Amino acid sequence: MQSYEGYYENGHFFPIGKTLTIKERRRAIIILDEPAHDETITKRIAVLEEFFEAIDASDEEVPEFERVNFARDVEL
């Protein structure tokens, strides 16, 4: 038997620190523990909210940026 620690969000399980590979048709047991709370994530969300509030409060025009695809192959 194997166990993985992670968190469940929006219908998906996210293991912590590992890539999870499960063979098809395996019996699984899910034990839900207390809600995940990461102080770093909470701080990052607060900073992003403050950033967007500052943009909304500003009377300056927000520039448009070109969309970027970091997954594409690029030759340098």
Residue 74 has pLDDT above 80, yes or no: no
| Angle (nearest 5°) at CA 35 between 33 and 36 | 105
Domain annotation covers residue 65: no
Q: What is the DSSP letter of 72?
A: S
Q: Does residue 49 form part of some domain?
A: yes
Per the structure, the complete domain to which residue 53 belongs is given by 6-57
Reduced 3-state DSSP string for 2-62: CCCCEEEECCEEEECCCCCCCCCCCCCCCCCCCCCCCHHHHHHHHHHHHHHHHHHHCCCCC
Q: Which residues contact 11 (CB under 8 A, 6 or more apart)?
A: none
Is position 13 within any domain? yes
20-65 pLDDT, tens per residue? Answer: 888 888 888 888 877 766 788 888 889 999 999 998 899 988 788 8
Determine, yes or no, domain membership for 16. yes
Q: pTM here?
A: 0.38
Identify the pLDDT of residue 8: 81
Whole-number pLDDT of residue 76: 73
Residue 17: pLDDT band (50, 70, 90) is confident
pLDDT at residue 49, rounded to an integer: 93
